[in-house]
Amino acid sequence: MKKKFGDRKDGAKLRDIHAMHLVMPLMYPNRCDNEAFISERIDLTNVLAYLDAKNAGNPEYKYNLFQVMVTAMLKTITLRPKMNRFIANKTMYQRNEVSAAFTVKKEFADDGSEALALIHSTGADTIDTIHDEIFRQISLCRSDEVDKGTQSLNAVQSLPGFLIQAVGAGARFLDRHGWMPQSVIAGDPYYSSVVLTNLGSIRLHAGYHHLTNWGTTSVFCAIGEIKKRPFYNEDGTVRMLPSVDLGLTIDERLADGYYYSKTVRLLKTLLENPELLDKPLQEEVVY
């Protein structure tokens, strides 16, 4: 698509949108003032059986729930493009790509450092290609090589205090106008379609996580612990099933409640029928 006046390097300005979506960013300009939180509990019976089947061949890097979640979020955003919009400088844009970001703990210790990982997807990707890319990213993050995002932070940290303040002011100006250098964007998780945090890996419950006014990310997904929880049948009986709780924080200015409701229904369908993730991200799903 040819870039037009007003477009950013990471997104195209939306010029034909409902008047309400045009006015809301003018009235409520900050992303953090427009957060909507959605919690969802997912029955993992089918996912766990699916993972057992995927791992039956004993791959070098095991398939796990986090890879399922990353793929499901990427497929959901691919098929629900309004979820891939962002508002910057009071203007709404459609992001040029679908991407997911997360942090990697190099070692599980109080002083263990973190690295940033970013998955750039295409419509042809499946859980197998996403699995391989996550393996590559995690291997890189846990190596001695320093990722681009950390390199940028280290460079800023080495500056005198008064220059750090000036760099911060300049960076906020560039961020607001879409002029941030690609070298910085490439290592910043808050320029992705969705940021995921696997809280279950450190034995925490899923819950609310704020968005940020910095960057362009409009969706945040927190993943909790896998454990058995009660599921109630229509007749009032209870089943204890393996499950995971999800916390989704979204920018409510992007779409209406019906669109979000249908988006969550798609995500839940993908997680309850994980074989759908073997198909390309762009392949439609009946739900």
**What is the full per-residue pLDDT of the chain (287 aa) written as tens digits?**
678 888 999 999 999 888 888 898 999 999 999 999 999 999 999 999 999 999 999 999 999 999 999 999 999 999 999 999 999 999 999 999 999 999 887 665 666 567 788 999 999 999 999 999 999 988 887 766 655 556 666 666 677 777 777 878 888 899 988 898 888 888 789 999 999 999 998 888 898 999 999 999 999 999 999 999 999 999 999 999 999 999 999 999 999 999 999 999 999 999 999 999 999 999 999 99
- Would you state the pLDDT for residue 183? 80
Retrieve residue 245's tokens. 């709780």
Alpha helix stretches (DSSP H) within the chain: 19-27, 45-54, 65-79, 127-141, 148-157, 161-177, 182-185, 257-272
Phi, psi of 28 (to 5 degrees): -130, 80
Judge if pTM exceeds 0.75: yes
At how many degrees (to 10) do helices 65-79 and 257-272 cross?
Answer: 140
- The one-character DSSP state at 41 is E
CA dist 127 and 209 (Å) reads: 26
CA dist 88 and 85 (Å) reads: 10
- Would you state the pLDDT for residue 146? 57
* Alpha-carbon distance values, 192 to 99, 110, 115, 143, 217 (Å): 5, 27, 15, 23, 5
Retrieve residue 270's tokens. 């993908």
CA dist 153 and 39 (Å) reads: 33
- Would you state the pLDDT for residue 64? 96
Domains and CATH numbers, the chain: 11-106+114-146+190-278 (3.30.559.10)
